[in-house]
Structure 1
Amino acid sequence: MSNLSYPLPENEDERLEALASYDILDTMPENDFEELTHLASEICQTSVALISLVDDKRQWFKSILGHDAKETPREYAFCSHTILNKNDIMIVPDARKDERFLANPLVTGNPNIVFYAGVPLVNEDGFALGSLCVLDTMPKNLNARQLKSLRILAKQVITQMELRRKLARLEKSNQNLLETNSFIQKFASTAAHDIKNPLSGMLLTSQALQMRLGKESDDKSKRLLDLNITSTKKLLTLVDEMLAYSSAPSSLLTNQNCLDLNTLLKNVVSLIDVPYGVKINLPQVDHTLTCSSVALEQIFINLLTNAIRYNDKEGGVINIQFREDSDFYNFKVTDNGMGIAEKNLDKIFYKELTLNVIDRFNQKGTGVGLYTVKSLVEKLQGSIKVESQIGSGSTFIFSIKKNAGVEEDDELL
């Protein structure tokens, strides 16, 4: 057992935590680091060059040139001393004459270190993780140009480590996103199937009842039955669109169709619960659009549902306006409801953010609806904003690009 000791930095726990965040210890050699050690050896004219990372018990070599060691105990590590001074190179011209190292097994035995020069590898948070160092078996010194070059190479080592960490985090985020999107697609598909089955049963039952009643039923019963059948068919169409989208998300942008805006809006209104006393005014003039009807329906379902839920007036009014220019379809949805505080206008589109406001049905929102609206609008290469005043209502203003999504977008979710 070695009697050698080594000093510890004051922030050792935080330093070790920072080192662990790079997930680099015990990884395979990488060419970018190998090239930097080769350059260090060539510039400083030494037989050994290495990139050393110091953990709690050892120094581990991410790259080493001129020796075959993979690691050494921390008490043998010259770098244990190097990381104490983050601001400068540590130079040992002759370790045999230095009290700190003269009994070190790496000096008295293989690889017989005599000369050492190491630059601390200091990350962007100020932690010295290890060093880029050069070694030789004879006394030596470095000139000013060599010292400057060694410092530059050390910065490049840290740059490579930062890039490596950021790439790993990005890959992990992408993997999490892919897994989440896959789950969402499967959930949407399963939910749509689960909804479709009882809806189909309702439609068949209603049609059978319609045939049985025939001419015997009164006009009011017939109207109610016809309304039930019509609504069920609309819901089945919507579910089919959900199924198509869950199996092929690109269809949101690529499936463009020519549609009549007021017809689409009337269909949306028929799908939502509009309480007595709430009036929805559609554009006075008919307009023909070419865009994704699925996306536009979802946008209006969410906006109109919110406008109804958060309207505290006896006579609720919602106005929908439309204007088109050379590049965009432009919409306004204005209500006379509760309104939104100015400090919250930038927050309401955040995912799962709620303002703890109770709606007219004594319920709180989930924070998903407006996030969905914003996501859909942006996928349609448009933008959305809101203007509002507490007590007076809100106006949601959004645009979607004409022919948005003609070119397929591979990253829709």
Structure 2
Amino acid sequence: MHKLPYPIPEDEDARLDALDSYDVLDTMPENDFDELTHLASEICQTPIALISLIDDKRQWFKSMIGLTARETPREYAFCSHTIAGASEIMVVPDAREDERFSSNPLVTGDPSIVFYAGVPLVNEDGYALGSLCVIDKQRKDLTPRQIKSLKILAKQVITQMELRRKLARLERANQTLVESNSFIQKFASSAAHDLKSPLSSILLTSQALQMRLSKSSDDKSKNLTELNISSTKRLLTLVDEILTYSSAPSTLLTNRVVVELNPLLKTVIAMVEIPYGMKINLPTNDHVLTCSAIALEQIFMNLISNAIRYNDKEEGLINIQFREDGDYYHFKVSDNGMGIAEKNLERIFHKEVTLNVIDRFNKRGTGIGLYNVKALIEKMKGTIRVESRIGSGTTFEFTVKKNVELDDEGYY
């Protein structure tokens, strides 16, 4: 059988890539699409209505009314001309009198096409993926209202396809997130177990050394040993918390306890490298809070570490302030460090965004810390904001809601 020539869109390769991205070819019929072809057939009063998609070799029908074939060769497809044209609709009143189609097997044989009207299915990027078309076996013309309705229905076809693609992407992203969370939990559990053994050995060794020094007059060595023991115990507690979190992530936020703020801050500061000349001022009065201690520790660990790392002054200063009202705890962490450019104040909370700034330890940030801080605070029904001036320092203010009710999963 003689194959008829057909036009090829100028952006054909990109168009085919766009079509592939919908992952719709050769899928099962779907009611949402079938309803649109049914409406097209009813509105235009034609026995045949089709949603056709054009790949490199064929015309495949996602939905069809009045036709049994699932596809036809591309060279016979009227829609090949529709997607290559510049108009919003292609109308062929009588294909028998049109030189493009008069010898077409779909005209001379089954299904004996005479009338055709097709609206290209143009996606949001401007690629024509196929068409919504109506067909009759006798000569016909459409009214302006029918043409307008057919164009509206074509937009709805694209809307359904976009929705389908976005849902598929969300499902893939969700699966990736589930797999990532699973990996992180397994890694945290494994790392915690690996850390616990040497920490336990350090604790036992330090306690043995403490016993040996008990009768010694070397107070400096005694103090260093006591500091080593208390730090090791704190690290072991953190490891236990990691183990708990790795098996039940929700505990990071749901384990609400009564917390004394200043002792909590001193614990955090004890785990941070404080350079010479750096001064940290705590709230003047101690305050008692009811919240997730480990979540608050993680927030302050990051904010205090950043305030130290990005401070270029000989006499560094960090001020931590606290107040509360009926609904929220309010915290403020300010420093006299390098500062952040105004254009970057929102970006610093985005995942994996770094500002390519070298800290005082000659290291670059990962762009994960502040993203996680913001996520934690938002999970605790709070907010965080930042003010900064280059060379003058930075102030972070955040809130944590009292009596917060968390969702069942507790993930952040």
TM-score tier after normalising by the smaller chain length: over 0.9
1:379 matched to 2:364: no
- Tell me, yes or no, if the aligned pair for 1:86 and 1:122 is still in contact at 8 Å: no
Root mean square deviation, CA, Å: 1.9
Using the TM superposition, give the Cα deviation of residue 349 of structure 1 relative to its aligned residue in structure 2, in angstroms. Answer: 2.0
* Distance in 2 separating the partners of 1:316 and 1:83: 66
Q: Within 5 A, what are the aligned runs for 1:385-396?
A: 385-396=385-396
TM-score, structure 1 normalization:
0.94
Give the corresponding residue for 2:407: 408
1:109 matched to 2:109: yes
Q: Which amino acid in 1 is paired with 2:120?
A: P
Q: Within 5 A, what are the aligned runs for 1:10-409?
A: 10-216=10-216, 218-404=218-404, 406-409=405-408
Using the TM superposition, give the Cα deviation of residue 268 of structure 1 relative to its aligned residue in structure 2, in angstroms. Answer: 1.0
* Distance in 2 separating the partners of 1:143 and 1:219: 100
Structure 1: runs of 5 or more not aligned: none
- Tell me, yes or no, if the aligned pair for 1:250 and 1:410 is still in contact at 8 Å: yes
* Distance in 2 separating the partners of 1:81 and 1:371: 50
- Tell me, yes or no, if the aligned pair for 1:253 and 1:408 is still in contact at 8 Å: no
- Worse-matched range after superposition: 363-372 or 323-332: 363-372
TM-score, structure 2 normalization:
0.94
- Worse-matched range after superposition: 179-188 or 394-403: 179-188
Deviations 1:275-294 (A, max 9, x none): 23222111111111111101
Give the ranges of 4+ consecutive aligned residues of structure 1 lying more than 4 Å apart after TM superposition.
Answer: none
SS at match of 2:6: coil
Q: Which amino acid in 2 is paired with 1:118?
A: G
* Distance in 1 separating the partners of 2:354 and 2:92: 61
* Distance in 1 separating the partners of 2:392 and 2:154: 61
* Distance in 2 separating the partners of 1:344 and 1:159: 36
Deviations 1:223-253 (A, max 9, x none): 2211111110011111111222222121122
- Worse-matched range after superposition: 280-289 or 6-15: 6-15
SS at match of 1:132: strand
Alpha carbons of structure 1 residues 409 and 154: separation in structure 2 relative to 1, 3 Å: same
- Tell me, yes or no, if the aligned pair for 2:379 and 2:406 is still in contact at 8 Å: no
- Worse-matched range after superposition: 246-255 or 321-330: 246-255
- Tell me, yes or no, if the aligned pair for 2:83 and 2:120 is still in contact at 8 Å: yes
Deviations 1:8-50 (A, max 9, x none): 2232223222222222111111111111112222222322211
Q: Which amino acid in 2 is paired with 1:116?
A: Y
Alpha carbons of structure 1 residues 341 and 58: separation in structure 2 relative to 1, 3 Å: same
- Tell me, yes or no, if the aligned pair for 2:115 and 2:136 is still in contact at 8 Å: yes
SS at match of 1:322: strand
SS at match of 1:51: strand
Alpha carbons of structure 1 residues 27 and 217: separation in structure 2 relative to 1, 3 Å: farther
* Distance in 2 separating the partners of 1:217 and 1:322: 42
Q: Which amino acid in 2 is paired with 1:412?
A: Y
- Tell me, yes or no, if the aligned pair for 2:83 and 2:131 is still in contact at 8 Å: yes
Using the TM superposition, give the Cα deviation of residue 137 of structure 1 relative to its aligned residue in structure 2, in angstroms. Answer: 2.3
* Distance in 1 separating the partners of 2:398 and 2:221: 41
* Distance in 2 separating the partners of 1:200 and 1:97: 91
* Distance in 2 separating the partners of 1:89 and 1:208: 88
Percent identity between the two aligned chains: 72
Alpha carbons of structure 1 residues 325 and 140: separation in structure 2 relative to 1, 3 Å: same
Q: Which amino acid in 1 is paired with 2:146?
A: Q
Aligned pair count reads 412
SS at match of 1:83: helix
Q: Which amino acid in 2 is paired with 1:397?
A: E
Alpha carbons of structure 1 residues 411 and 172: separation in structure 2 relative to 1, 3 Å: farther
Using the TM superposition, give the Cα deviation of residue 395 of structure 1 relative to its aligned residue in structure 2, in angstroms. Answer: 1.4
SS at match of 1:185: helix
Alpha carbons of structure 1 residues 154 and 354: separation in structure 2 relative to 1, 3 Å: closer
Q: Which amino acid in 2 is paired with 1:408?
A: D
Q: Which amino acid in 2 is paired with 1:71?
A: E
Structure 2: runs of 5 or more not aligned: none
Using the TM superposition, give the Cα deviation of residue 144 of structure 1 relative to its aligned residue in structure 2, in angstroms. Answer: 3.4
